[in-house]
Amino acid sequence: MIIDALLVVFGGTGDLAHRKLYPAVYNLYLSGLLPENFALVAVGRRDKSIQDFRSQVMESIREYSRNKVEDIDKLEKILARFYYYKKDFYDSQGYERLGEFLKDLDDSYKTRGNRVFYLAVAPEHFGPIVERIHSAGLAPNGKESWQRIVIEKPFGKDLESAARLNEDITRVFSEDHIYRIDHYLGKEMLQNIMVIRFANTLFEPLWNNKHIDHIQITSCETIGIENRGGYYEGSGALRDMMQNHMLQLLMLTAMEPPVNLDTESIRDEKVKVLKALSAMAPEEVARNVVRGQYGEGVDPDSGDRAIGYRQEDRVSRDSDTETYVSMKLMVNNIRWAGVPFYLRTGKRLPCKTTEIAIEFSKPPEVLYFKEFQNLQSNLLVIKIQPREGAFLQFNAKKPGARSEIIPVAMDFCQNCTVDAVSADAYERLLYDVLRGDSTLFTRWDEVEHSWRFIDSIAEAWDKVSPSFPNYSAGSWGPDEARVLIERDGRIWRDVCDYY
């Protein structure tokens, strides 16, 4: 059930709000999923009339919404519930006035004091804003109303800073009112991983070290860092992708079946996967983790020459920030003993795709596996983006008089037809915040254990200077990444979608 509420967006003039949040609100409205009693307040520091704000939101919706604007009346109806409130985050008195403004809107929209505070702001503002929301009494969380807080990633830059931030937030909001965003969790196919695993007799009995040889999780991008040099220099691929999105994919792939589908049961199983990852000693990091940084090369999308990372805007000319990471890790429990997980993510790689590939073990060398050399293993690939779907590869006889066996595939694509555009992740996540379902958000212990693991890698890296750049833009990353998997007698999958 959706409960009536005001959505208060701090950073309401920013990129995330305009590209993702406002189109998501519009699409929820079109789908009939917004509460009747709803309004949105964007908090920003610029001078802006409400008309200017609404026409900028209209532009963003026209540009970024997955549903094109066909009915202008509908668009205007939802825009009439968008408000702009000018204030600086650090103007403490301003929060009381903001409170009065919100109360007036409560009366107009019958939202009864329920609020979602969405912090679409840089991480250094999270703590100060929460503290001021508290001091101004904007989040009483009493019996009559609820107040929730949504925190964008990154949640800290290591365990220590994440714990400090968490303390600041939990002083004001209890865990069940905190929604830590990892927008990957809002993607259709991520939610489908559990369904594919646990709703199919075909897969779950095979989902273990008796039948699986290894698993590859890949998330690669063709773009460089675009105009995010300032942010990326303080982050890098390990913190920007591995700590959150990649470990989420790992957790959903490796978790045990939850006892039921409620939020805490699912989160309990996910966090156990992180607990089964041992922090890596420096010599393990040297052996099992590869970092890279792109140099000059080719832009994979246009074929034009591409500059190296160190030449990008707001990047140090001798930067040691990694734009690529691959690693081999083991999940130390009974189900996965002996099964390596290979993870890789990077920028300026040959294609944009995210997928999980489960390669099943080969059967004993009898019958066809004895007679035919190089028969391929069965493979299940869950495609997350841009193609959404799954394919299952198995061996079959090639038609004809000769005895030949070839790999064939059963291929399910859920977004291959023109009108099958999945809801954007932010739509699903905003909808869940409004109805109070935090299953697709990150619980504190997930954040804590993921940082513990990632810190062990970052600390080992801090002791050794990398020789960057070590891969060309448009290539598959550093050569050490190839060695990392080939020394185990395996190869990285060709993940590009040629459809």
| Catalytic residue annotation | 245
> Measured from the CB of residue 236, what is the shortest distance to ligand NAP in angstroms?
14
152 binds ligand NAP (CB under 6 A): yes
Residue 412, interface with ligand NAP (CB under 6 A)? no
Please give the helix or strand (H or E) that residue 286 lies within, else none: helix 282-288
Query: Buried b vs exposed e over 102-116: b needs ≥16 C-beta within 10 Å?
Result: beebbeebebbbbbb
* Binding-residue total with ligand NAP (CB under 6 A): 18
Structure tokens at 32: 């009939």
CB of 15 to ligand NAP, least distance (A): 4
Quote the Cα angle for 424-425-431, to 5°. Answer: 100
| Shorter beta-carbon distance to ligand NAP: residue 19 or 74 | 19
Q: Is 122 in the site for ligand NAP (CB under 6 A)?
A: yes
14 touches ligand NAP by CB under 6 A? yes
Instruction: Return the closest-CA partner of residue 250 out of 222, 280, 228, 272.
Output: 272
As a dihedral over the C-alpha atoms of residue 265, residue 269, residue 275, residue 276, rounded to 10 degrees, the angle is 160
Sole residue written with tokens 């595939």: 409
In the complex, the smallest distance separating the C-beta of residue 483 from ligand NAP, rounded to whole angstroms, is 33
Q: Is 121 in the site for ligand NAP (CB under 6 A)?
A: yes
Burial of 426 (0-12, 13-18, 19+ CB in 10 A): buried
Q: Does 118 bind ligand NAP (CB under 6 A)?
A: no
- Minimum CB separation of residue 154 from ligand NAP in Å reads 6
Stretch that binds ligand NAP, among 83-91, 257-265, 298-306, 472-480 (CB under 6 A): 83-91
When asked if residue 153 is in the footprint of ligand NAP (CB under 6 A), the reply is: yes
Answer yes or no whether residue 11 interacts with ligand NAP by CB under 6 A: yes
379-385 and 353-360 beta bridge pairing: antiparallel
In the bound complex, what is the minimum distance in angstroms from residue 162's beta carbon to ligand NAP?
14
Nearer to ligand NAP, 58 or 120 (CB): 120
Q: Is 54 in the site for ligand NAP (CB under 6 A)?
A: no
Please select the residue that binds ligand NAP; options are 123, 292, 474, 477, rule is CB under 6 A: 123
C-alpha–C-alpha distance, residues 108 and 199, integer Å: 45
Minimum gap (Å) between residue 89 Cβ and ligand NAP: 4
Helix or strand holding residue 247 (H, E): helix 247-254
Span near ligand NAP by CB under 6 A; candidates 85-93, 452-460, 467-475, 488-496: 85-93
Give the residue among 42, 36, 57, 37 at the shortest CA–CA distance from 8. 42
Among all residues, whose Cβ is closest to ligand NAP?
14
In 3D, which of 155, 314, 299, 297 has the Cα closest to residue 232? 314
Binding site for ligand NAP (CB under 6 A): 11, 13-16, 19, 44-46, 88-90, 120-123, 152-153
